[in-house]
Structure 1
């Protein structure tokens, strides 16, 4: 049996949510999570480690390469196969070109197809590295494994129109036992136990929802079995709070505190407010940022106006004409906001005018 780990898109050097109070911690966590994976391999060795591009967020510094290589050298029983992706592609003056890796590391150092054989284990690993930031031509569609018995693995990066398009149907039929993909930060399977994106080790922005980690696999008698092993320090989550006419600022803040405590204070949240609030109750959403790691607030709530009743009451006036522009239409969130904010402003003006008449 051959045991392997497949990871990608570590993005060492990235600073997620730059400018937020927790951004420096996130930068350090990316390095620490990668170190933990290597330490786990040292404790429980695997035969192969595949890194399918974007180990670094940008061109690696010499000191960064030395640090990573020191960790690789600490797991000599594991053969490591590494490629450069679109973020850490090999520039003309890149340190990648001259760096000397530990004996257990194979770095695919050109944009040309290459096959590395481990004859004593009948293992064949195919790969290349990006030498350009943008690769819009398919580099893998014509690849076929050599006609020899053994474990045949393709290391590949990309898969969309903007980054090395791939014919996944063709890849599935090409004859590789496993295709280790990188580029997409969301772990997902293209072809069960055969073609998979490991996703990023740590979530890197507010859209990287769900579990993150690496793929652990086994090959035996021509069959591959893989599973995702979560290992991220924290996650990005959408947090929906439903408000109503009785929701005050204090009640909203208590709802948020309680939900953050229940889900975990280290996680990072996109807060989404839904429901209908009292028109005379102003909720100060900016105050919610200090009650947790709130990266974004989307206020989709709206005042609890009866639009049809207001239209009948103000028909023939400026307010009625304004409401009529929105009636019987399938409104977007932005259009709904425009309706209710505009209506609130017009009604406030009307109230002031009525007060002046009474005086």
Structure 2
């Protein structure tokens, strides 16, 4: 029997972005956009008429989510009654003694794994068995092991886990990828890692549908999949409202002020995405890079610029203009050293910057 599903994780509703570099007004907008994307996922489930919506942990932030937020989530789930929703609580939305999951009565189509051990939920009408594991504490250092009866190969068998397949010493539920393969589940719906990663054997991290910071660059979304006769097909669907992008731009001394401005302003999606830009290389010493940065800032929705460019000084010209003062003497002494040495060159440029600024 064929089943159709959406797989998501790490939505982090309620996040306050306390450790983010961007300001509070943008953080507020990002919180609203995360909610909007959550509703978009529910709408996609309705549009695609999926049988299952898998949420592999960190649906929300337990310490920040409100009762009103929980009711809003539940109302959205209730709107897709024909879709069974499976939730495996993770390290940010643990199913412990004071779990927010216990504060409301969830819609009949919502199925929450509640035990910190592998459990089974059967859907006989869809010929599907779904296995899941709930976190009840913030850290789990014990490696995952399968402790259930043998899989019924006549059914679709899906495993939902929130953990780390990349680090066997992780405190966030280490999972041995090779061990997972041997278990022969038809699909393994993982969560915890915020970057999408579709491994072989149907082992999949969908990533967070909305990126949270500059450590989560690139496209973000959900997995739309279907499973039939142990054959799984998946498609990544982009959902995020914005992207975080890290860029490097190398400048050279022949570039004019306006050319530098034009290149920076040519970045795609500058009115929507969040950029972190490193400026490298050499520029004409007469170009005011602070003014460049000021001019381009207003052209971006959000940009952080790390200015590492060095001024390209015409040493002969400066020597001729300052032969009788400390600037000329400084250049003369520095030229006795190896100017190909990056540390010597940096010392020369830093010294010149300071001396020329004093002269002005």
> Quick check: TM above 0.5?
yes
Secondary structure, aligned partner of 2:185: coil
- Displacement after TM superposition at 1:52 (Å): 0.2
Matching residue of 1:332: none
- Displacement after TM superposition at 1:101 (Å): 1.1
Matching residue of 1:175: 184
Matching residue of 2:15: 14
Matching residue of 1:227: 235
Q: Which of the residues 105, 108, 111 maps onto 1:100? A: 105
Structure 2 residue ranges without an equivalent (≥5): 316-327
Secondary structure, aligned partner of 1:347: helix
Instruction: Provide the C-alpha distance between the structure 2 equivalents of 1:101 and 1:156, rounded to a whole number of angstroms.
Output: 21
- Displacement after TM superposition at 1:91 (Å): 4.0
Q: Is the 8 A contact 1:206 1:295 kept in 2?
A: no
Matching residue of 1:310: none
Secondary structure, aligned partner of 2:28: helix
Per the alignment, do residues 293 and 351 of structure 1 end up closer, same or farther by CA in structure 2, a change over 3 Å counting? closer
Matching residue of 1:282: 288
The answer on 1:163 being equivalent to 2:172 is yes
Displaced runs of 4 or more, over 6 A: 313-317, 349-353
Secondary structure, aligned partner of 2:38: helix
Instruction: Provide the C-alpha distance between the structure 1 equivalents of 2:81 and 2:94, rounded to a whole number of angstroms.
Output: 26
Instruction: Provide the C-alpha distance between the structure 2 equivalents of 1:220 and 1:77, rounded to a whole number of angstroms.
Output: 19
Per-residue Cα deviation, 1:152-177 (whole angstroms, up to 9, x for no partner): 11110111413111100000111211
Q: Which of the residues 23, 27, 30 maps onto 1:23? A: 27
- Displacement after TM superposition at 1:247 (Å): 3.4
Q: Is the 8 A contact 1:53 1:183 kept in 2?
A: yes
Per-residue Cα deviation, 1:10-41 (whole angstroms, up to 9, x for no partner): 11112454515432221101000110111222
Instruction: Provide the C-alpha distance between the structure 2 equivalents of 1:225 and 1:98, rounded to a whole number of angstroms.
Output: 37
Instruction: Provide the C-alpha distance between the structure 2 equivalents of 1:280 and 1:248, rounded to a whole number of angstroms.
Output: 10
Matching residue of 1:297: 305
RMSD over aligned Cα atoms? 3.0
Q: Write out aligned runs for 1:1-359 (5 A).
A: 1-16=2-17, 17=20, 18-19=22-23, 21-59=25-63, 60-138=65-143, 140-143=144-147, 146-148=150-152, 149-159=154-164, 160=167, 161-192=170-201, 194-257=202-265, 259-260=266-267, 262-284=268-290, 286-287=293-294, 288-304=296-312, 319=334, 324=338, 341-347=346-352
Per-residue Cα deviation, 1:65-122 (whole angstroms, up to 9, x for no partner): 1111111111111111002111122343222234321111111122122111112222
Per the alignment, do residues 146 and 120 of structure 1 end up closer, same or farther by CA in structure 2, a change over 3 Å counting? farther
Matching residue of 1:331: none
Instruction: Provide the C-alpha distance between the structure 1 equivalents of 2:187 and 2:145, rounded to a whole number of angstroms.
Output: 15
Instruction: Provide the C-alpha distance between the structure 2 equivalents of 1:32 and 1:65, rounded to a whole number of angstroms.
Output: 15
Q: Is the 8 A contact 1:246 1:278 kept in 2?
A: yes
Per the alignment, do residues 283 and 219 of structure 1 end up closer, same or farther by CA in structure 2, a change over 3 Å counting? same
Q: Is the 8 A contact 1:12 1:57 kept in 2?
A: yes
Instruction: Give the TM-score of the pair, scaled to structure 1.
Output: 0.83
Secondary structure, aligned partner of 2:289: coil
- Displacement after TM superposition at 1:306 (Å): 9.3
Secondary structure, aligned partner of 1:22: helix
Q: Is the 8 A contact 1:83 1:107 kept in 2?
A: yes
Instruction: Provide the C-alpha distance between the structure 2 equivalents of 1:124 and 1:165, rounded to a whole number of angstroms.
Output: 23
Q: Is the 8 A contact 1:144 1:174 kept in 2?
A: no
Instruction: Give the TM-score of the pair, scaled to structure 2.
Output: 0.83
Aligned length: 336
